[in-house]
Amino acid sequence: MADRSVLRVGLAGLGTVGGGVLTLLRQQHDTVLRRAGRAIEVVAVSARDRTRDRGVSIDGLAWHDDPVALAQDPSVDVVVELIGGSNGPALAVVETALGLGKKVVTANKALLAQHGGTLGGLARDRGTVLAFEAAVAGGIPVVKALREGLAANRFDRVSGILNGTCNFILSTMRTTGRAFDDVLAEAQRLGYAEADPTLDIDGHDTAHKLALLATIAFDIPIDLQSVYVEGIRHISPLDIEYADELGFRIKLLGTAARTGRGIEQRVHPTMVASTDPLASVEGADNAMVVEGDFVGRIMLQGRGAGAGPTASAVVADLIDIARGHNVPSFVTAPEPGLAAVSIAEHDGPCYVRLMVLDQPGVIADIGAELRNEKVSVEALIQRRHQPGSLVPVVLTTHPSQEAPLLRALARIAALGSIAEPPRMIRIDA
Amino acid sequence: MADRSVLRVGLAGLGTVGGGVLTLLRQQHDTVLRRAGRAIEVVAVSARDRTRDRGVSIDGLAWHDDPVALAQDPSVDVVVELIGGSNGPALAVVETALGLGKKVVTANKALLAQHGGTLGGLARDRGTVLAFEAAVAGGIPVVKALREGLAANRFDRVSGILNGTCNFILSTMRTTGRAFDDVLAEAQRLGYAEADPTLDIDGHDTAHKLALLATIAFDIPIDLQSVYVEGIRHISPLDIEYADELGFRIKLLGTAARTGRGIEQRVHPTMVASTDPLASVEGADNAMVVEGDFVGRIMLQGRGAGAGPTASAVVADLIDIARGHNVPSFVTAPEPGLAAVSIAEHDGPCYVRLMVLDQPGVIADIGAELRNEKVSVEALIQRRHQPGSLVPVVLTTHPSQEAPLLRALARIAALGSIAEPPRMIRIDA
């Protein structure tokens, strides 16, 4: 008969993170026992290939070809879902486990961003736990900080560097002056970027994580559809150079903020003042900044991905479960009257770069189009150049609504003297 | 009959923080109810002077002249102790409340650093809670991060800027070039420093907080007596200038680290590389850096004091209690075999400043004394000067045990050409 004092874990998915969880729970067995008050042990596993060498032994563990069978295994108290993907087996495993009243720990932001509302409701109905610290910012305990440590605050804003791949690429572009494609290829060689990097560099991974942070910070239902998403493919060395000159660094930020109209959620490259603590978060690090009405500004920084940090977060959730800790996964009674604010209603300063054929009067034409939309220019940089050549004209605007700025830029783009589509990067206000 | 679903709080101490807690619980009543699942309300208060205007009404609350009577008040479920001081009424209130099986939330680091072991044991015996997030780093949830969010890690080191007064003074000295006494006086005028600033500037407040962090990080009993404590009174503008030149910033750090010999706990001014994230923590901010074997390096930063941040942390503990969360206050089964390592055994690089009468051969004499103790010099700065005048000679050492370095410095101090006691500031390795 199994020792009831042991928390028995079933591990669905044995990739890098799954291997990390197995290693951690073995290596740290006594530490975890001392802190949790009971042992936490993996008793069953499921993965695609039983024979693959994972550098960690699965001898003595029950094996399930089908992860759903793992969730049903009566020897399993808690299912750790590390399969990934927003549907398919990951969803089936989590639904099965919660349906049986079993506790679930997952690192799967895509799954939660899509189905978190339903799954959280299922967990609540069955009186069980759906925990996901590892789904956002890897080893940094951002979920716990927002939901528990800072729970006494009304938040005005939560913002973060939530994707290490993008931050590595942008940091490396800045320090080396190299182009996006070149640095992306290096990130792929180093294992910082996937073979198919779309989810990361187009901002979707950040959007998934932001949607989870926003639901916790603002007591609103998960609403991935309302998140504006823009990636970093269009960032050029030229923009990074101008950012430097203007006193900014370009970061891919996920930002959820309370405005006069409701809650805006947006993911896009952002000009951050070089004196801002987020500006010095470099390489593959992640960070979250949150502003609460009583606590002020709090920043958490650390490694946002990788086997070790992610395993650290997964096992933190397991320790919480072993200790009997249970905070509802998602808000049960949303704050009333908080509308989703679209990006068109976003109000803030902006950086714009235009590639201009040097013709007399072009600056006047640009100025006129902006003035017609009541967008006011804060600074303008135009360098000396060879007559007849293509030159960058860079300007920053005072805070403006986005719709009129976009209208002005569309008309500017249509001017005969503008050679490329205008580039805009929002400035962190 | 009282509504059982309300968590009824008795507030002992109505200074700045007590007022903040009252204000927060009123202003955030609905938010707290939504997140905690039940209302949290102050029902009784105790303070020295009933009539003082605190800018917040205590009408309708039960009043107790004696805080111990507040702890005994049957209408009180949780006692929040904000009296301060390591003995006297604060200790009596906490002992009484825990003895009655009531939950206690305190911001009192001095009390816990002295009596935390006993009080934690009392809480455990009575099956109740002693929570103290507000005792360390104000609003930054460092206790929760270490004890829960990062609990899967074996920690190698926890280190922090834990006293806002000292950080304000050192930051201001650096940016203005002004002297310690001058900036201290300004800090007192601004309310950043107490009329009696001893506890802050001599490092004792940091030591109290460090002792609490160390017990959580290393699963060792609280051991304030083993903490080496050195304050910032002796830091001169000259040292700050040289630090800058050498690529460092001077911070008062509390550091607990695992060494080959056990755990060292030390509070002293520290030269931190200017590229280190702790170097850019300026003004009255606090920060904690922790290194875990799986998670890597995590930093948390924010406001470490003041009514708002401290109230945020106190109410976070109350929300935990309302949710039924209960993690033991302190380690119940210490990690065996972890000895306390004294500062004499500390091994690290060091900055030394000597004020030298310009005489031929003095550098050779200094070098000889260091070499006799096998302390090796990494860098030496001696500027050009007027013959016969007093000149600073600054050197940094390679990592060295502290005992031999101190022996060498004692003999150097006795040289006829050395005009002032040598100044040493440890470098963060």
Between helix B237-246 and helix B164-176 the angle, nearest 10°, is 80
What's the average model confidence in pLDDT over B18-31? 96
Is position A340 within any domain? no
pLDDT band at B4 (very low <50, low <70, confident <90, very high): low
pLDDT score for A384: 72
Which among B145, B302, B333 has CB closest to A299?
Answer: B302
By the CB < 8 Å criterion, does B269 face chain A? Answer: no
Contacts of A145 in chain B (CB under 8 A): 141, 144-145, 149, 300
Query: How distant is the Cα of B107 from the closest Cα of chain A, in angstroms?
Result: 14
| pLDDT at residue B224 in the model | 97
Q: Does A301 touch chain B (CB under 8 A)?
A: yes
Chain A from 62 to 121: CB within 8 A of any B CB: none
Whether residue B167 is found in the same domain as residue B280? yes
Asked if B110 and B161 sit in the same domain, the reply is no
Question: Chain B residues with CB inside 8 Å of A39's CB?
Answer: none
pLDDT per position as a tens digit, A342-369: 999 999 999 999 999 877 788 999 999 9
Residues with Cβ within 8 Å of residue A94, at least 6 apart in sequence: A71, A79, A81, A104, A106, A108, A111, A119, A130
How far apart (Å, rounded) are the C-alpha atoms in residues A401 and A345?
6
Q: What gap in Å lies between CA A136 and CA A160, rounded to an integer?
A: 10
From chain A, pick out residues whose CB is under 8 angstroms from the CB of B297. Answer: 302-303
Q: Are A181 and A260 part of one and the same domain? A: yes
Spell out which residues of chain B touch residue A20, defining contact as CB-CB under 8 Å. Answer: 294
Q: Do B79 and B117 lie in a common domain?
A: yes
Inter-chain contacts counted by CB atoms under 8 A, chains A and B: 194
Query: CA of A257, closest CA in chain B: separation in Å?
Result: 17
| Residue A151 sits at the chain B interface (C-beta within 8 Å) | yes
A34 near B CB under 8 A: yes
User: What DSSP element (H or E) covers A112?
Assistant: helix A109-125
Residue B310 lies in a domain: no
Q: For A11-20, A193-202, A329-338, B67-76, which range has the lowest pLDDT when averaged over its residues?
A: A329-338
Host H or E run for residue A45: strand A40-46
A52 at interface of B, judged by CB pairs closer than 8 A: no
Cβ-defined contact of B300 to A296 (cutoff 8 Å) = no
Restricting to A residues 370-389, those with a Cβ less than 8 Å away from any Cβ of B are none
pLDDT tens-digit profile of A405-427?
999 999 999 998 999 999 999 99
Q: What is the CATH number of the domain that holds B396?
A: 3.30.70.260
Does residue A236 form part of some domain?
A: yes
Interval A235-250: pLDDT, tens: 999 999 999 999 999 9
For the residues of B35-100, what is the DSSP string, one character each? HHSS-EEEEEEE-S-SS---SS--TTSEEESSHHHHHH-TT-SEEEE---SSSHHHHHHHHHHHHT
B21, pLDDT greater than 70 = yes
Co-location of B68 and B91 in the same domain? yes
CATH assignment of the domain containing B202: 3.30.360.10
The verdict on A67 and A12 lying in the same domain is yes
Domain residues for the domain of B416 are 346-427
Q: Which residue has the tokens 């470099």?
A: A282
Same domain, B112 and B43: yes
Of B295, B299, B311, the CB nearest to A312: B295
B319–A contact, CB cutoff 8 A: yes
Q: Helices B88-99 and B109-125: crossing angle, nearest 10°?
A: 20
Tokens describing residue A3: 């020792």
Q: Which residues of A touch B276 (CB under 8 A)?
A: none
Please give the ipTM for the structure prediction.
0.95
A193 band by pLDDT with thresholds 50, 70 and 90: confident
Ordered DSSP codes for A268-285: EEEEEETTSGGGG--TTE
What's the CA angle centered on B85, arms B81 and B90, to 5 degrees? 35
B340, part of any domain: no
Whether residues B154 and B291 share a domain: the answer is yes
Residues of B identified as active-site: 209
Answer whether residue A283 is part of any domain.
Answer: yes
- Within this chain, do residues B150 and B113 fall inside the same structural domain, yes or no? no
Mutate to test the interface with B, among A35, A175, A314 (most CBs of B within 10 A): A35
Percent of chain B with pLDDT over 70: 98
Tell whether A295 and A371 lie within a shared domain: no
Together in a domain, B243 and B122: no
In a domain, A1, yes or no: no
Is residue A402 in a domain?
Answer: yes
State pLDDT tens for residues A265-310.
999 999 999 999 999 999 999 999 999 999 999 999 999 989 999 9
User: Looking up tokens 């290829």, which residue turns up?
Assistant: A185
Q: Looking at residues A4-32, what average pLDDT do you find?
A: 95
CATH number at residue B29: 3.40.50.720
- Residue A230 is classified by DSSP as -
Q: Under a CB-based contact definition with an 8 Å cutoff, are residues B308 and B230 in contact? A: no
* pLDDT single digits (tens) B82-129: 999 999 999 999 999 999 999 999 999 999 999 999 999 999 999 999
- Structural domains counted in chain A: 3
- The CA-atom distances, in angstroms, between A138 and each of A22, A289, A304, B362 are 17, 15, 4, 55
- Amino acid B225: pLDDT: 96
Residue where a domain stops, chosen among B115, B135, B155: B135
Give Cα B265 to chain centroid, integer Å: 12
CB contact under 8 A, A151 and B35: yes
Active-site positions of A read 209
Residues A79 and A105 in one domain: yes
Residues of B in contact with A139 (CB under 8 A): 150, 292, 294-296, 298
Determine the residue of chain A that is closest to B277 in CA distance.
A280
Residue B330 lies in a domain: no
Last residue of a domain, one of B135, B167, B183: B135
Which of A101, A135, A169 lies at the terminal end of a domain, its last residue? A135
